[in-house]
Structure 1
Amino acid sequence: MACSGEHATGRAASHRWKVLGVGVAANASFAAAFSGIPATAVWLRHAYAISTGELGVVLGMLGLGIVLSELPWGLLTDRWGDRRVLLLGLASTMAALVAMAAWGAPSRGHVPSPQALAAGFLAIGLLGGSVNGSSGRAVMAWSGPGERGLAMSIRQTAVPSGAAIGALLLPALAAHAGFAWVYGALAAMCLLSAILTILWVREPDVLPHEATATGTIAAVVTARSPLMRAQVWRMVGGIAALCIPQVAVITFASVFLHDFGHAGAAVAGGALASVQLGAAVMRVWSGRWTDRRANRNEYLRACAALTVALFALLAAATAWCAHTVHGAPGMPLFGTIGLLILLVAGGIAASAWHGVAFTELATLAGHGRVGSALAMGNTGAFIAFWLAPSVIPMLLAGTGWPSVWLAAAACGALAWPAFARAPANRLQMDGAIDVVARPAGRKTGKRAVV
């Protein structure tokens, strides 16, 4: 019996890497859409014949759809399970993208209205919001306490990695093949992720971290709903605030480098890809590092402080360049390079913390509440994805690019106090995680949280 239990535990430990792979693929598919489509901003503006203000509103619809749908999808995930929600979300998102390729892409005889484009992006956001919480819950369920930070950080690398794929692939498709190919490529990525979900995602019979010498651990949640917990909401607020500098870079870096820095499409695409790949590397490293040192909150506060410093420098450098080249035909090369370095460094700092933050959020909530807690965090994050693209054009029209980057720095400053560690007694009062083991095959009245 012991050998059989060890064999089952070994299979479960092996299968968790497949589940993690599905989580990465699913998140990368959707990230390529919500972060890759903004990388086509210059071509989107031209192909659909819209203004910069209309562009911001249209791109903001992607974030708005996710904001509206994340929490319902998360609650549904805790009720239905990871597999069904993930499959439903990927299939419906693919259908929306196919519809956009068929009827929402500009052609010689038809250019969809800004309202139709906004509705299509809203639908993609509403349906794709299912991916984040459901895949995160699956990864958390298959990971032990000492590896959750690494596992969630690897999953979170899917966001910058998928966005990097989108930044490199989608502008080229938009420029040379048209937006029907942009939407078709994204639909194909969703289809591949759905196939992997069918093959590998399931609820674990015995969680890898629940095996004991005497049996298994009862995984029943006694903590209060995360919707009723102040510490969870404070973490969500910090996530939302620190996402705004990240969104500012993802959404308008190509416009900034094109309009202000006079850089070409290759430079803009390379800068966005560098931000996303750098963030992916930092997320993996930070997940492992904070697992070993148990210092997630301190790391999050450090990321917030570094973001403030880098975006304040970017604002100052932008103001200096605008003053220096006033009336000149173009930006000096050294000025463009300096802005590029600060923009990439700031974007990485504002994107490197996601895996650590969402691991801490899920740990605060407890296993049975992971879907809801991650949905809350993602709702906060995508409030930033909704608001920032709409607000930035107004700041830009009123006071110019320096105010955009200074506002991003201010948002990083708001995130810093939100990541303070709560006192231990406060966590206990708020519904801390507790574990009670029970032998397999026996019933007990004790309840436990993992």
Structure 2
Amino acid sequence: MPQTSADTAGPPVRTPRRYGPNHRWVVLSVGVAAQASFSAMFSGIPVTGITMRADYHLSTGELGLVLGCLGLGVAVSDIVWGLLTDRFGDRRILLTGLTATGALLVAMAVAVTPGDRAGMPLLAACMLAAGALGGSVNASSGRAIMTWFTDGQRGFAMSVRQTAIPAGGAVGVALLPGLAAAYGFRVVYAVPAAFCLLAAAAAWRWLHEPDRVPAPAADRPEADRSEAARSPLLRWDVWRLALASGLLTVPQIAVLSFTAIFLHDAKGADVALASLTVLIAQLGGGAARIWTGRRSDRRGDRRAHIRGIGALTALVMAGAAVLTHAPTPLTVAALALGGLLANAWHGVAYTEIAAMSGPSRAGTALGLEGTTIFTAAFLTPLLIPAVLTFASWETVWALAAVAPLLAVPLTPGGPRSRLR
């Protein structure tokens, strides 16, 4: 008997779902959620410093080491995450990092609180691990955006993603100090754990590869294309930009990590004023990131934007040093504005270093950028207590002005980066 079509038909073939260009906005939203969830922890925990110092019975130097371990964790892992992202794809790495970070924070909420008699070594080790795992979001979400957006859109898109850092940080700054004072550190760790796990669920559902990767810009100089074929780790111009970014991070972390301690110890102010100062710097910095990202897309010279922001940050932080003993509102205003400017350059720098390296190497370049930034984030809170031992708060804020000033000549010059 001849076979019918029903007899010969195999199991139905499932057509893979296609994702059109408009899905890039969904991918951007996932990247924002991932970055914000990590930032809520990274920025929020340091502002609990007064409560952490008292509840865990830490000295100011020990507190600086514990808080610095968050940045050190990212610094020692970010290049590895970047290489893994280029090898295995942004979706796998983002899911792995967010899930592991959430699980670690849950474990800290269960067993690493003052009530559990957790000491400084265990607390520092957990902060180191949290930074190392959470740092996966930097390269993976950034590479996803570089993959989905074209060159003429990347400055804006990456700046929106980078705005998630101060925005998520603002959520952490607004929530965690009050939670620490009222409910203790179990809740402080549980809240960002929930954020990370929710972001992981969003990445699992909506973060996918595009049907076609945007082609390189036709007007890109041939020399730049050949440079992009080399590893970013072997290029001095890429290293210059990454090192300049590390210097630009110093005033940002100084304001974030030690505003509360400074206002408490030198001005007799409470944690609410410190939280408000950092909140202004974070939210204002987020708005500035979007503005500079859009402006750099239109004008093209991202490196000039970075140098300009560095010069302005140096000027304002020098003003903060001069105003250390001025009336508190003036000092707070200078620190808030300095912190705002120190937040404004991130999206442009991340976009530029990824564009210099090309989409296939973007994860590695973003990993290098994260390494220098978070190395500075580790060293800054570690060095500030040492400076205070031998000098004063004026010296702390003056050094926070020198760092971005040094970043201005270090930032590479060269052709306009308008890649459309």
TM-score by length of 2: 0.91
Q: Distance in 2 between matches of 1:413 and 1:270?
A: 27
Q: CA deviation at 1:146?
A: 0.7
* 2:400 aligned residue (391, 408, 411): 408
- The residue number in structure 2 matching 1:443 is none
Q: Write out the 4+ residue segments of structure 1 that deviate beyond 6 Å after TM superposition.
A: 219-222
Cα deviations by residue, 1:345-373 (Å, 9 ceiling, x for unpaired): 00011110100011000000001000000
Aligned residues: 398
- The residue number in structure 1 matching 2:348 is 356
- The 5 A counterparts of 1:320-335 are 320-321=325-326, 335=327
SS in 1 for 2:20: helix
- The residue number in structure 2 matching 1:234 is 240
Cα deviations by residue, 1:261-307 (Å, 9 ceiling, x for unpaired): 22222111111111100001000111111100112111111111011
Q: Distance in 1 between matches of 2:179 and 2:284?
A: 24
- The residue number in structure 2 matching 1:64 is 72
Q: CA deviation at 1:208?
A: 5.1
Confirm or deny that 1:41 pairs with 2:41.
Answer: no
Cα deviations by residue, 1:104-149 (Å, 9 ceiling, x for unpaired): 0122xx3211001101101101111111100000011100111100
Q: CA deviation at 1:423?
A: 5.3
Give identity over the alignment, percent: 48
Partner amino acid for 1:79?
Answer: R
Contact 2:237–2:412 (CA<8 Å) still a contact in 1?
no
- The residue number in structure 1 matching 2:204 is 198
- Is there any run of 5+ residues in structure 2 with no aligned partner, and where? 1-17, 219-224
- The 5 A counterparts of 1:196-345 are 196-207=202-213, 223-318=229-324, 320-321=325-326, 335-345=327-337
* 2:380 aligned residue (388, 399, 403): 388
- The residue number in structure 1 matching 2:32 is 24
* 1:137 aligned residue (134, 143, 151): 143
Q: Distance in 2 between matches of 1:11 and 1:255?
A: 49
- Is there any run of 5+ residues in structure 1 with no aligned partner, and where? 1-9, 213-218, 322-334, 434-449
SS in 2 for 1:307: helix
Q: Distance in 2 between matches of 1:17 and 1:208?
A: 15
SS in 1 for 2:287: helix
Q: CA deviation at 1:221?
A: 9.7
Q: CA deviation at 1:245?
A: 0.7
Q: Distance in 2 between matches of 1:312 and 1:274?
A: 19
- The residue number in structure 2 matching 1:379 is 371
Q: Distance in 1 between matches of 2:291 and 2:415?
A: 27
> Root-mean-square deviation (CA), in Å?
2.2
Q: Distance in 1 between matches of 2:131 and 2:43?
A: 11
- The residue number in structure 1 matching 2:190 is 184
- The residue number in structure 1 matching 2:414 is 422
- The residue number in structure 1 matching 2:9 is none
Q: Distance in 1 between matches of 2:295 and 2:227?
A: 28
- The 5 A counterparts of 1:14-163 are 14-107=22-115, 110-163=116-169
Higher alpha-carbon deviation: 259-268 or 285-294: 259-268
Contact 1:90–1:131 (CA<8 Å) still a contact in 2?
yes
TM-score by length of 1: 0.85
Confirm or deny that 1:13 pairs with 2:5.
Answer: no
Partner amino acid for 2:406?
Answer: L
Q: Distance in 2 between matches of 1:165 and 1:187?
A: 14
Partner amino acid for 2:192?
Answer: L
Q: CA deviation at 1:165?
A: 0.4
Q: CA deviation at 1:222?
A: 6.2
Contact 1:147–1:291 (CA<8 Å) still a contact in 2?
yes
